[in-house]
Chain A
């Protein structure tokens, strides 16, 4: 192990946290090892599959490509766990279950993150907008149609509950 530990401080799921990381530790590895937040997953490790998607300052990023040491005190990181009380995320998660969109489940934390970002910015997305919003997320069970149906359902339910 390296002895070059770097102290970082940032906001994680709404709380201010401090931790120590090695230079090459990614945000994904940090979340899983230092904080035991295991929703975000490593699929490809190259930024292609989106299973590691998290929010950084309200924008989804691939946490497998962001070095934890580059996090700044003003950065706000939110993982799926941070949305557990969030109404929109609950609607999304429930719709995923109801539509049978979850098969092996590995891609789902990333999928729901991308869905959340879409519905935050577009309450009534059409099919094209949904496909585009999920284009950075890969499901190898190939359940895309059910996933798209779930996003549509979550959008309708969120709008109806307003």
Chain B
């Protein structure tokens, strides 16, 4: 570790080439990675590849009917972007709950996803917005629906020599809410988090995703269908949806919370989100 190498690639292709070498990892904001390196979690680390400032990774741009959020965009960039605020409030709210101000100025959305923590706050928001992960490697690009990207805690389908270029979202106005339960309001890792997005393209669509209740983020499709079919969103219906969320959650007990509490809170958080969106 004392002989780490450090590579500052000129472009994305050069970064992918550098990431092919065994033991090389990409670094952007550093807010997760530096702590992990210091804690000795990467004994085989040989070098770092600085992708923090590579264009177009640090831009939010539109591409025909889609929006591409570069993986190097910081939480602060997402929160203060007008298009994000207008079209994807779920993601803006999720990004606002990450760490505290200082972290949000460093932490990137690509890092939050690549880190693949079951508690990563932007991940359920991206699920609820049907994001696609844009992956670049030495032999070209590929894209995956975000739901297919994660294998297990800390493990993704990203292969050696690949990096996340960004996230592609359909450019459509959505409404949404994001709630997280932690020990305190700032700087808390979620005991459980909940993202709900809804849009109307002639009929109502609902997407519900929750984190910290399984090895990877879970969608609650039964509750989504219930909401899409319902004519009136009365209290009874919201309670039914909440119960479905409790049944879908399959959390573990760990140092942050217990399985029973998390399961119960899945329903509480979903109901609160739905109340704010159906008022």
By a CB distance below 8 angstroms, the chain B residues around A4 are: 3-6
Q: Which of A57-71 contact B (CB under 8 A)?
A: 59-62, 64-67, 69-70
What is the chain B residue whose CB lies nearest that of A75?
B53
What is the chain A residue whose CB lies nearest that of B38?
A45
By a CB distance below 8 angstroms, the chain B residues around A69 are: 6, 8, 48, 50
Q: Which of A23-77 contact B (CB under 8 A)?
A: 23-24, 26, 45-48, 50, 53, 56, 59-62, 64-67, 69-70, 72
A3 within 8 A of B: yes
Cβ A135 vs Cβ B47 within 8 A:
no
Cβ B27 vs Cβ A133 within 8 A:
no
B37 within 8 A of A: yes
In the complex, what distance in Å separates the CA atom of A151 from the CA atom of B124? 36
Q: Which of B1-33 contact A (CB under 8 A)?
A: 1-6, 8, 27, 29-31
In the complex, what distance in Å separates the CA atom of A56 from the CA atom of B104? 12
By a CB distance below 8 angstroms, the chain B residues around A135 are: 100-101, 185-187
Size class of the contact patch on chain B: 20 to 34
Contact A47 to B35, CB < 8 A, known contacts A60-B102, A136-B102: yes
Q: Which of A63-93 contact B (CB under 8 A)?
A: 64-67, 69-70, 72
B106 within 8 A of A: yes
B106 contact from A3, A22, A50, A66, Cβ within 8 A: A66
B35 contact from A2, A46, A60, Cβ within 8 A: A46
Per-position 1/0 for A116-148, Cβ under 8 A of B: 010000000000000011011100000000000
Compute the total of residue contacts between A and B using a CB distance below 8 Å.
Answer: 91
B52 within 8 A of A: yes
In the complex, what distance in Å separates the CA atom of A20 from the CA atom of B53? 20
Cβ B37 vs Cβ A61 within 8 A:
no
In the complex, what distance in Å separates the CA atom of A69 from the CA atom of B30? 11
By a CB distance below 8 angstroms, the chain B residues around A62 are: 31, 102-103, 106
Main secondary structure, interface of B, reads loop
A1 within 8 A of B: yes
Cβ A70 vs Cβ B52 within 8 A:
yes
Q: In angstroms, how far is the closest chain A Cβ from the Cβ of B103?
A: 5
Q: In angstroms, how far is the closest chain B Cβ from the Cβ of A76?
A: 13
What is the chain B residue whose CB lies nearest that of A5?
B6
B180 within 8 A of A: no
B6 contact from A6, A64, A114, Cβ within 8 A: A6
By a CB distance below 8 angstroms, the chain A residues around B187 are: 48, 135-136
Q: In angstroms, how far is the closest chain B Cβ from the Cβ of A6?
A: 5
What is the chain B residue whose CB lies nearest that of A74?
B53
B215 within 8 A of A: no
Q: In angstroms, how far is the closest chain A Cβ from the Cβ of B248?
A: 32
Contact A47 to B4, CB < 8 A, known contacts A69-B50, A136-B187: no
Q: Please list the residues of chain A having a beta carbon within 8 angstroms of any beta carbon in chain B.
A: 1-4, 6, 22-24, 26, 45-48, 50, 53, 56, 59-62, 64-67, 69-70, 72, 114, 117, 132-133, 135-137
Q: Please list the residues of chain B having a beta carbon within 8 angstroms of any beta carbon in chain A.
A: 1-6, 8, 27, 29-31, 34-35, 37-38, 47-48, 50, 52-53, 76, 99-103, 105-106, 185-187
Give 5 closest A-B pairs by Cβ, nearest first: A136-B100, A135-B186, A23-B6, A23-B4, A59-B105
A/B interface sample: 27 pairs, CB < 8 A: A1-B2, A2-B2, A4-B4, A22-B4, A24-B1, A24-B37, A45-B35, A46-B35, A47-B106, A50-B100, A56-B105, A61-B105, A61-B106, A62-B103, A65-B34, A65-B106, A66-B30, A66-B106, A67-B48, A67-B50, A69-B6, A70-B27, A70-B53, A135-B187, A136-B99, A136-B101, A136-B187
